[in-house]
Amino acid sequence: MIERPLLVNVVLFRLADETLQVLLASPVQAWELPGSELGSQEGLEHAAERAIAALLDRPKTYLEQLFTYGAENQAPVCVVYFAIIPAEAGLVPGKPVRWTPVWQAPSLAHEHAEILAYALRRLRYKLEYTAVGFQLLPAEFTLSELQHTYEIILDEKLDKRNFRRRMLQSGIIEVTSHLRTGEGRPARLYRYRPDAVAEVKARRLFP
């Protein structure tokens, strides 16, 4: 049976410093997405997690397969995953990697620019129609923080009243008894309800 080299690449996102960031690697010279070879008996997801564990000191909070690239004459077939990383995760020392705001990514090797653009599109879709947004935040958060997250990723300003109304009506979050105090009036903290089915009930374009 014919065999082919197989690579697993990961697009790692995090939210930090008021921006959406992606982890880029520069093992030789050009920048590219981190990845690792698939072991001869290894599962795909396992390889993705191994690639992440090699770079970061915290596990990912969300992992999803994106797409598999394998053009003609292109030696390795690449299975691409994307993952969301807690902002608190630290880099393993000595690795040639860097968190970069996605809007300022340098040009990338291979097809990686295209892959990053696709991953970003998918993240936005997910954000709008499912509950991935919560993966980017700590366990408890204020509605303002949540809205801020959405605004950063969607790169658009949202109306505060409408945001709150829909977010609460969806039943996907619940109030806690805690408050976050700071400047100005303290804010109620909310918590994601993993039990609430985040079913995407969108309007059909075609009936």
Partner DNA sequence: GAAATAGTGTCTGTTAGACAATATTTC
Partner DNA sequence: GAAATATTGTCTAACAGACACTATTTC
- Residues forming the site for a second copy (CB under 8 A): 1-6, 37-44, 46, 65, 67-74, 76-77, 79, 127-131, 133, 150, 158-159, 162-163, 166-167, 170, 172, 198, 200-207
Q: Which two tokens stand for residue 147?
A: 């809205």
Task: Count CB-CB contacts under 10 A for residue 72.
Answer: 4
Site for DNA in 156-175 (CB under 7 A): 159-162, 164-166
Closer residue to a second copy in complex, CB, 87/154: 154
**Using CB distances below 5 to 8 A depending on partner kind, what does residue 183 bind out of a second copy, DNA, none?**
DNA
Please, are residues 90 and 56 in contact by the beta-carbon 8 Å criterion? yes
Report which secondary-structure segment, H or E, holds 187. strand 187-192
Chain centroid to Cα 19, Å, comes to 12
Task: Count CB-CB contacts under 10 A for residue 161.
Answer: 8
**Using CB distances below 5 to 8 A depending on partner kind, what does residue 184 bind out of DNA, a second copy, none?**
DNA
Task: Output the smallest distance, CB 19 to a second copy, in A.
Answer: 20
User: In terms of Cα–Cα distance, which of 54, 40, 32 is closest to 3?
Assistant: 40
**Using CB distances below 5 to 8 A depending on partner kind, what does residue 40 bind out of DNA, a second copy, none?**
a second copy
